[in-house]
Structures are given as C-alpha cells and as structure tokens.
Structure 1
Amino acid sequence: MAAPNPNGGGGDDVALPMPSRNPLPLSASQEAQIRDIYHARVRDACAPEIKAFADCALNRTFTVSFVCREQLRAMNGCMKTHATPAAHDAAREEWFAKRLERQKERERKAVKKAQQEDFIREWWGLPEKDAETRRKEEEKMRMTERIGGYAARDRKRWEEEQAAAATATAAAAASGKR
C-alpha cells in the first residue's frame, strides 16, 4: 500500500508507504518537523489576515488590543478554520512522503563530507582512515531514517508474549488430556 505521490507527477520517485494514520511514536525532532510543516501551511493559508494585523500593529504597543481587534479576530478565525486535525494529518503524510528525499540528501552530505576529509588528509599528508572506521561510516550513511522509538531492553516484545502464551496453552492442553 503505497502513499500517493503528493507532487502529482508520475516521475521516477519511489513513494514509501505511509505506516498508518497514527504510526509509532516519532522522536521529538521528527514531531517538530511535522509541526513546522503544519504551521507553515496554516500561515500560508492565512497570510493576508496575518499581514493586515501586522500592518495595523506596527508602531503600537498598549493600544494594539483595542485598535486592531477586528484584524486580530479575522486572523484568529482564519487560523482556527485552517488549523484542523485533518491539516495535521496532511502535514504528517507529507513528512512521510519526503522520507526518501531526506535520505538522499543525507547521503549526498555524507559523500561530500568524506570527499572533504580525503582531500584534507591528502593535503596535509595525514594517514588514511582504517578500513573498519570507513566501513562503519558508510554503513551508517546507508541506514534509513528511524521511525518510532527504540524498545526498552527489559520490555517483552509482542511476538515473545504470543509465543509464551501459545506454549502455555499447549502445555495446559497436554496436561489436561492426561
């Protein structure tokens, strides 16, 4: 089940699947990225109202709340109509759709960093990196973006619980037949 391409075009882009409407908890920085997309969309939709309020509030201090009340209400009303859970879900879907793009960008940066390090080592006559360090960096560069947190070491996994329940059921059934 692949998510539709938000750009609309049918290019060479490979769309990664949207895990679900409410996927595993994302990290704080990932949630912040989603909020940034969400807030930017709301600001873009309400740009004229925000501009009108900003123009009214310019060079005012105490009297802003009295003089610019109509513009403030128009701006807040616009933001309330556009800041909906559906808009937040759309921002989340856009963030998931751009996973592949972010991964390619990270790979480009890592390659550029490696080239710069090689140049500096060559320029200053420094020894080469050992093969193990270079292999680990290349492996890290190829890793995909992590979605969801890491499970606690001492927490039972769902599969393990199911297997334990199945063995307990089988043992109880076997002892009941005797």
Structure 2
Amino acid sequence: MEAMAPSRAPEKEEEVPRLPMPSRNPMPLSSSQEAQVREVYHARVRGYCAAEIKAFADCALGRTFTAPFKCRPQNRVMNSCMISHASQEEQDAAREEWFANRLKRQVERERKEERRKEQERFHKEWWGLPVEEREGEKGNEVLRNAERVGGFPSREREGELSKDRHR
C-alpha cells in the first residue's frame, strides 16, 4: 500500500487547474522588443487579410468624407478577417518568429558595426587625422596651417599666416 501512495500524489497534482501559459517563450522582453514582436504580429495578421485590405483600400481611394458610408461592406469584411486572425496563438507565433530571427538581427548588427569601423578607418587614412586629434589643440593647429591650392600656400594668405605663426 505504501507503493500506491506516491502514484496517487502525481494524479492529484495533474487535477489542479493551472492558468494557461501565455507563451512558449516566457522570457521577459524590453518595451522596444515587445514593440518589435507586435510589429511582427500585425504584419502576420495583415498578411492573412491582404485581399480584404486591398478591396477596402480600392473602395476608399479618392473618397474622404463618404468612405465610411460607401465602403461599409468592405470595411466589415476586412475587420472580421483581422479579428478572426488576431488571436493568442498568432501572438505566440509572432513571438516565436521574433526569437527565431534573433540570430539574423545579431548578424546584421555586427555587420553594421564592422561597416562603421571600416568607414572610420577610411576616414582616418584619407584625412591622416585620427578622430581624437580632430578636436583640441592639434585640430586647431591643422586649421591654422596655410590654405593649400594645388599644393602651394595661397599668395593672399601666405603673409597673414606667417604673422600668426610667429605669435
């Protein structure tokens, strides 16, 4: 009889009603991440109802005040389609799609950062001046140097700059 007691305990735990899990990915997301998930969700719902949305848009094209009255049947069809597809399962699917594309977004961010670094290296090489030296005394010294036209100091500024250099 003692062997039966442990087998009954799990049965009682299974009988306890549980709240439905809102998502298979219960990881808390930041507000910007949740906004991205909502964008994916809305795009999915709009994708299902693209034909109905197009029919309503075609009807409303060129109308302003009369659009709600003239296009009421198309509007009802479009709204009923969107409501039928706007479900918790669709939100869960959008969240899963967002998590699935996480690696792709990370690769894209890394590519952007590499491009930024490459552009910064090009800038330093092109101008021969590192970013930290563009500001401060060394940057001002570069600005005080003679203006070059064709590789030679300009004649009208040559005298002015030579006076400034002796100060």
Alignment correspondent of 1:144: none
Secondary structure of the residue that 1:74 maps to in structure 2? helix
Q: CA deviation at 1:46?
A: 0.5
How large is the RMSD of aligned CA atoms in angstroms?
A: 1.7
Distance in 1, matches of 2:66 and 2:115, equals: 53
The alignment status of 1:99 with 2:70, answered yes or no, reads: no
The 8 Å contact of residues 25 and 96 in structure 2, kept in 1 or not, is answered as: no
Q: Rg bigger for which structure? A: 2
- Indicate which of 30, 35, 46 corresponds to 1:32: 35
The 8 Å contact of residues 45 and 82 in structure 2, kept in 1 or not, is answered as: yes
Q: CA deviation at 1:102?
A: 0.8
- Under a length normalisation based on structure 1, what TM-score does the superposition of the two structures give? 0.57
Distance in 2, matches of 1:78 and 1:127, equals: 58
- List gaps (5 residues or longer) in structure 2: 1-22, 133-167
Letter paired with 2:40: I
Distance in 1, matches of 2:45 and 2:105, equals: 23
Alignment correspondent of 1:57: 60
Letter paired with 1:124: W
- List gaps (5 residues or longer) in structure 1: 1-19, 130-178
Q: What is the aligned residue count?
A: 110
Normalized per residue, the structure richer in helix is: 2
Letter paired with 1:58: L
Secondary structure of the residue that 1:55 maps to in structure 2? helix
Which structure exhibits the higher relative contact order, with contacts defined as CA atoms closer than 8 Å and separated by 6 or more residues? 1
Deviations 1:43-75 (A, max 9, x none): 111011111111111222232222211111100
Q: CA deviation at 1:25?
A: 2.5
Distance in 2, matches of 1:59 and 1:48, equals: 19
